[in-house]
A and B are shown apart, each in its own frame.
Chain A
Amino acid sequence: MATNENPKGGGDPGPLLELRGITKRFPGVVALDDVSLSIHRGEIHMLLGENGAGKSSLIKVLYGAYRADAGEFRHQGKVIRIDSPADAKALGIAVIFQEFSLVPFLNIAQNIYLGREPRGRLPGLIDHARMHADARAVLQSLGLSYDTHALAGDLGVAQQQMVEIAKALSQNARILVMDEPTAAISDRESEALFTVIRQLREKGVAIVYISHRMKEVFELGDRITVLRDGRCVTSMEAAQATPEQMIRSMIGRQVNALFQRKGRFTPGDVALEVSGLHTSTGVSGVDLHVRAGEIVGLSGLVGAGRTEVARAVFGADPIASGKVTIFGHEVKGEPDSVVALGVGLIPENRKAEGLALGRSVQDNLLISSLWKLFPKGWYNAREAMRRVGALVEKLRISPPDPLRPARVLSGGNQQKIVIGKWLNAGCRLFIFDEPTRGIDVGAKMEVFSLIEGLAEQGAGILLISSELQEIVHACDRAYVMRGGRISGELAHDELSEQNILRLAI
């Protein structure tokens, strides 16, 4: 559990903010389970955990977007509640999100003081001189010399982040929460960011810093908390921790594997071949291949470029250089031409990219196989219902009414529809992007059975997943990506959570 020693010694005023027993439940999943940790002034508190461990839920509880179902907050020893973003703001909690809240065509000073513009002489007017002077002062205190007239939209990601920090600081933030701040910036820019963060620490600001990267965790962190499956596994001073300890805390789950393969199948022809793939979306040189009958995993941390590879393979994003061939045919152009080659994509964001929520289950299930089922173009409603009925039964979609809008189904059933829509389309290559995210355990098992069944019938499968368990137990072999490239390939006997993490970080 958390220790209360102030690493700097001296009189310890106690934690600035304490979380005790914070629990947050959603239907079917417990996002946070009895989490306790304490945030101290002038301390950089690192928050570690895999995807799904509960980090983003914790942030949301901290700034009032989620209300905790159980547990309490203590601010400087006093019990308080955080029920809304206004409460969080009043406590001096500021969060820097991954999607910045900057207005692109307003300048830096305007963005920092959005909503709090200093009044000019005449009522209603803005005192620009003061606004810019104040903005410069705040930036100066961070060691930055920005031209406050620069437009926010012209700035690079790292610079926008600095402006966000300045904005939070100008609102007297006492607790700054940063979510993967170095995810989209270069190493050099990260160094500048660290300088600023250290300066904030000198000023007594408490920083909660979420990261995957061991290097910066130990370079910057004073205290480290590891979350796993919604629980706080360990919380200790960085000086007393080692990277191996942290990794083991992050991934050590009970070993009862949820899914076991029935067996492996003989790989057939090469279904997918990617060589030297570069895209403007962040893929910088990827080579991989998938054979028919294989389930190949593609792992890595968020931002490593896996979805970008999938999209480029599927024709959804343009290929800057390199070659993608599917069953020997080169991919050029839009998804419809790739689908014609026999490929199906189950996208990461099923609601926005995989389904038309307002349309019926039936319409969603048939949309990709219309021309395969009705090659002359004549839609036969009776045949359609028959096929849909068969699919609904095979996939055990519930409720089994195919005319209900897809919106009303649970996440697991929606995912089954997204998979199901390819089953009549004659696909020989399937790309699954995080197929079990956000669905309950039972549905996860069904999805894996489906995937294995497809491989058994001779399809090639590319399985993108951040859940290490899945890769280890469901795949025949796996690639791991890091920073837009493949950092390694693991054969079947090399598949282990440790190995994957080592390559991913």
Chain B
Amino acid sequence: MNGASLTTWDKVRQPLQRRLSGEAAALIYRMGLVVLIALVLAVLSDSFSTSSNLLNVLRQASLIFLLAAGLTLVIISGGFDLSIAVNLTLSACLAAGVMKAGGPPLLGAGVALLCGTCVGLLNGLAVTALRMPPFLATYGTLWILQGLAFHYMGGNEIFGFPPEFRALGTGFFLGIPIPVYLMVAVLAICTVLTQGVNYGRELYAIGANPVAARLSGIPVRRRQLSVYVLSGLSAGIASVVYLARVNAADSGIGEPLLLPAIAAVLIGGTSLFGGVGSVFRTIIGALILALVINGMNLLNVHSTWQPLVVGVVLLAAVLLDLLGGHRRERIG
């Protein structure tokens, strides 16, 4: 590097450090919230700090995260996916059916992933080819899938899967639950996708200003289609983990996970308006949510309160997002 570039590099490095603290500040504030909630719970309940409870929290967080990871990508690119929870339901039910009919665990997992991906493709086509607004398209998919899941299960429950399969959800490796490894793996892949490759930078650009992105040469529709496919795949992965841990499937398993997943993304700090956020933030959001749910359980708050609390938390997160001031540019 010649002298001029070195100077530029220096000129650039200081604000980088300054800027990092801007981004880091948001993360640190939320991680602080995690620590705070954990401390409060530790004080309020003796059983909080036990290793089994903490592992439980981690497992719950990883399930929420796996479901919300793909959603985060969709939201970053300016879209939305209401169907992720029902996608999980349908994928899990189909996988359960396959394994109950004697299929090997690998096939079951494969079916779940395939189902999730196909649903994602359906959503993506509805948004890019049919030009439906994302919330409407995924809302419609939600109900169609829910109907299909109801029909397939016929009101029954399927349970009892092979132990090799269950290990995915309940097993340990080096003392850490396997879902956590999955969580870290998905986090790593998503982080690479969003920060380390061109694709991710294009997603942010589309979310920030889709018109300018198109006029900058980004193939917007292709990217949007792919991101819904990823969201579907993410739901498929989550369905495998769910099935493995709970060891049962019925047509209502996904529904209670929708609000926590959305709340996780928003609490983490990814903006609904697109162009801002990261999957790492969603992990923090998922942790916060898992702690809140865990706390309610420990403090013997009746389970009927939980949907209410999550609803309130979601609204609070949306309000916080608004205060953050990340508005999508109003075009025209």
Contact = CB atoms under 8 A, between A and B. Distances in A.
Do A and B touch each other in the complex, judged by CB within 8 A? yes
Interface of A: 314, 316, 334-336, 338-340, 345, 347, 351-359, 363, 366-368, 370-371, 374, 377-379, 385-386, 388-390, 392-393, 400-404, 421, 425
B300 interface: no
Given A353-B211, A356-B205, 17 more contacts: A334-B214, A334-B221, A335-B215, A336-B219, A352-B332, A354-B215, A355-B212, A357-B329, A367-B218, A377-B197, A377-B199, A379-B195, A379-B201, A388-B12, A389-B9, A401-B15, A404-B15
A353 B198 contact: no
B8 A392 contact: yes
Contact of B16 (A345, A357, A374, A403): A403
18 contacts: A334-B214, A334-B221, A336-B217, A338-B217, A352-B211, A354-B215, A356-B205, A356-B275, A357-B208, A357-B209, A359-B205, A367-B213, A368-B216, A368-B217, A379-B197, A389-B9, A390-B5, A402-B12
Nearest 8 pairs of A and B residues by beta carbon: A339-B217, A389-B8, A356-B208, A370-B198, A356-B209, A336-B219, A401-B15, A403-B19
B214 A335 contact: yes
B280 to A, nearest CB: 16
B217 A359 contact: no
Prevailing SS type, chain B contact patch:
helix
A354 to B, nearest CB: 6
Given A356-B213, A356-B329, A386 B19 contact: no
B6 to A, nearest CB: 10
A192 to B, nearest CB: 30
A423 to B, nearest CB: 13
Contacts of B19: 403
Interface of B: 1, 4-5, 8-9, 11-12, 15-16, 19, 195-202, 204-205, 208-209, 211-219, 221, 275-276, 326, 329, 331-332
Nearest to A350: B212
Contact of B196 (A345, A368, A379): A379
Contacts of B201: 363, 366-367, 370, 379
Contacts of B326: 358
Contacts of B1: 386
A363 to B, nearest CB: 7
A287 B16 CA distance: 49
B275 A351 contact: no
B4 A393 contact: yes
B108 to A, nearest CB: 33
B217 A335 contact: yes
Contacts of A334: 214, 219, 221
Contacts of A355: 209, 212
A385 B326 CA distance: 25
A316 B214 contact: yes
A394 to B, nearest CB: 10
Given A352-B332, A356-B209, A401-B15, A386 B217 contact: no
A374 B8 contact: no
Nearest to B206: A356
Nearest to A351: B329
Given A389-B5, A403-B15, A378 B212 contact: no
Contacts of B209: 352, 355-358
A425 B275 CA distance: 23
B204 A352 contact: no
Given A377-B198, A378-B196, A363 B204 contact: yes
A345 B211 CA distance: 13
B331 A352 contact: yes
A334 B220 CA distance: 9
B20 to A, nearest CB: 9
Given A356-B275, A385-B9, A389-B8, A421 B216 contact: yes
Contact of B8 (A377, A393, A421): A393
A385 B276 contact: no
Contact of B198 (A339, A374, A385, A390): A374
B330 to A, nearest CB: 8
A425 B208 contact: no
Contacts of B200: 379
Interface centre among B199, B202, B219 (most CB of A within 10 A): B219
B217 A340 contact: yes
Nearest to B1: A386
Nearest to A391: B8
Contacts of A354: 212, 215
A336 B216 CA distance: 8
B106 to A, nearest CB: 30
Contacts of A379: 195-198, 200-201
Contacts of B16: 385, 403
A377 B202 CA distance: 11
A364 to B, nearest CB: 8
B211 A386 contact: no
Nearest to B22: A403
B44 to A, nearest CB: 40
A421 to B, nearest CB: 7
A339 B215 CA distance: 9
Contacts of B219: 334, 336
A400 to B, nearest CB: 6
A336 B15 CA distance: 33
A338 B217 CA distance: 8
B73 to A, nearest CB: 16
Nearest to A344: B217
A386 B212 CA distance: 24
Contact of B275 (A353, A358, A402): A358
Contacts of A345: 215
A62 B318 CA distance: 41
B331 A359 contact: no
Contacts of A357: 208-209, 329
A358 B329 contact: yes
Contacts of A314: 215
